[in-house]
Amino acid sequence: MNKFIKGSEVPVNPEEKAVAEKEQIKDLLKETKKEAKDLLDVMWSREEIMTNKNFINTMNLKIKNMLDQIIKNLYWYQKIGWKKFLPNREYIEQKEREERIKKEKERLLKWIEELVKIDDFYFSFHGQLDEGKLVKTLSAYGYDNFQQISVLDIGCRDGRWLRKFQDWGVLPERLAGIDFYRPIVDYAKKLSKPGIQFIEAYPDELDFEDQNFDVVLVFGVLMHVLDESLRKKIGRELLRVLSKDGIIITLNLTKDALAKLEPYLAYTSIGLEWEELTDIFPDCSIHFEILSQCGLAVIRKKDCKKEKVDASGG
């Protein structure tokens, strides 16, 4: 029976197939020899290899000596702490964060200087929270015995809230206000009675001992910090000075309210709600509620032992 060669429709017998395969092999050998001759132009001949043998050996020895010296140097650097001289990725990222934070602080200071000249927004914002609402919130978290608590106001402005706490019974020496604009700090001192401590400082650089305050107020501050790294750094610093069972009360514009602001305020503000606050205060218990134009939040450390009585109360 005749068989077919693959790809061909012409029937052949086994002898014809063998002859065809031999011819294909001969053609392949001819092509290989031709390509081999072409390689002679780019390859050393046996004579050339022998002539350059000493040169090749010399180069190999030099390369080996160089590698040995490199390895020796690396071991030396390792012994003296060579990693200290070679910045790693974490070190570089830390330096970049520090530079961004520095620029953000410079922007904030320049911005607040201009804002004070043209608008009373920063002052009036503190009035968004009703006194009764604040007292009720404090009471709900067990801070209604004002004579026994200490209060820190971040971004205290003219010191209004600290004077209120003094009227409610908090001892003046247990009240402190922080603002990073010197004229405002001086103005707050002028309006307040002696005893309350007003300090010019940024909220991520607080010169207080750990767990120093029972209540920390942060009204209208975080929403103007555009750099995420600085917001998180502020959060860590506030938690550091907060007592174990203390509370941080924040007041910020909501995202909806932000859209209604004048452009020069909207472009320098962000809406902060529960999700954003969880990034600033990780591993904390956060109660968040929306008031008319603002979001009020109460933040506590997860290991807080003080029982919350009631979170409502409008």
CA distance 71 to 68: 5
User: At what angle are helices 89-118 and 228-241 packed, to 10 degrees?
Assistant: 90
Q: How confident is the model at residue 298 (pLDDT cuts 50, 70, 90)?
A: very high
Dihedral in degrees, nearest 10, Cα atoms 216, 222, 224, 225 = 120
Average pLDDT in the 100-127 region? Answer: 73
Instruction: Name the nearest CA neighbour of 123 among 151, 150, 156.
Output: 156
pLDDT of residue 31: 79
Mean pLDDT of 138-143: 94
pLDDT band per the 50, 70, 90 thresholds, residue 26: confident
Question: At the topology level of CATH, where does 126-301 sit?
Answer: Rossmann fold (3.40.50)
pLDDT at 286 over 90: yes
Tell if the pTM clears 0.75, that is, is over it: no
| Mean pLDDT estimate for the chain | 83
Q: State the average pLDDT over residues 28-40.
A: 72
The residue whose two tokens read 């909220």 is 203
pLDDT digits 0-9 by tens, 76-92:
766 666 555 555 677 77
- Whether 188 has a pLDDT exceeding 80, the answer reads yes
Least Cα distance to 154 among 63, 224, 78, 75 occurs for 224
pLDDT at 312 over 50: no
Residues 204-247: tens digit of each pLDDT: 999 999 999 999 999 989 999 999 999 999 999 999 999 999 99
Distance, CA of 192 to CA of 196 (rounded, Å): 7
Q: Are strands 151-154 and 175-179 parallel, antiparallel or unpaired?
A: parallel
pLDDT of residue 129: 84
Q: Residue 214's closest CA among 236, 244, 186?
A: 244
Distance CA 3, CA 12 (A): 6
Break the chain into its structural domains and give their ranges.
126-301
pLDDT of residue 305: 64
Q: What is the pLDDT of residue 262?
A: 75
